[in-house]
């Protein structure tokens, strides 16, 4: 497991986005749609990436995030949803200075061995922000189990992002993470 620079991720970007597509069960055409977005994210303040490789130097896990700020698409969507649910002061507590856990994926044949938690912990160790926020599709998944195990709480449930018909949950927790049990 290593921390990747933007240049290092760029050289493996297609492989990383293909891992994302596989882990999420998306159409292979999604790679061409997501690669430019991931490249743009690499330019954001506080960006960091952790990747895991197997003995054949194949990417088996990847996670990245950055500081969330007003004006970013995800921030604006979540901010609007939270203002409909919480008082403005509470929204500011969560979103005033947060790290957005943008992507965390493990290749399906490598799941269930603690790799996702290791990537998550390494990514968030030293991440900027008072809190960390993420969104994940609703439903019982290994991701849900991981996020609950490390103390994420519900901020929004059954939330629909513009342009996506699936329900999502927005989860958050304070930083730093507690030590593993």
So which residues are the catalytic ones? 147
As a whole number of angstroms, the distance between CA 170 and CA 68 comes to: 14
| Helix (H), strand (E), coil (C) string for 132-171 | EEEEEECCCCHHHHHHHHCCCEEEEEEECCCCCCCCEEEE
Q: How many CB atoms lie within 10 A of CB 115?
A: 16
Contact 50, 125 (CB under 8 A): no
The secondary structure element, H or E, covering residue 51 is: strand 48-53
């Amino acid at each position: 497991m290593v921390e990747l620079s933007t240049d290092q991720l760029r050289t493996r970007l297609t492989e990383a986005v293909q891992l994302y597509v596989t882990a999420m069960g998306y159409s292979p055409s999604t790679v061409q749609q997501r690669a430019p977005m991931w490249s743009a994210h690499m330019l954001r303040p506080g960006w960091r990436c952790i990747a895991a490789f197997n003995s054949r130097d194949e990417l088996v896990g990847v996670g990245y995030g950055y500081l969330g700020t007003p004006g970013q698409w995800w921030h604006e969507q979540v901010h609007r949803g939270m203002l409909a649910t919480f008082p403005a002061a509470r929204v500011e507590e969560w979103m005033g200075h947060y790290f957005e856990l943008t992507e965390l994926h493990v290749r399906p044949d490598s799941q269930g061995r603690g790799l996702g938690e290791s990537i998550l912990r390494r990514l968030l160790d030293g991440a900027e922000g008072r809190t960390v926020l993420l969104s994940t599709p609703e439903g019982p998944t290994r991701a849900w189990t991981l996020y609950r195990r490390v103390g994420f709480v519900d901020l929004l449930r059954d939330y629909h992002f513009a342009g996506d018909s699936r329900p999502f949950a927005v989860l958050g927790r304070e930083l730093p993470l507690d030590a593993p049990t």
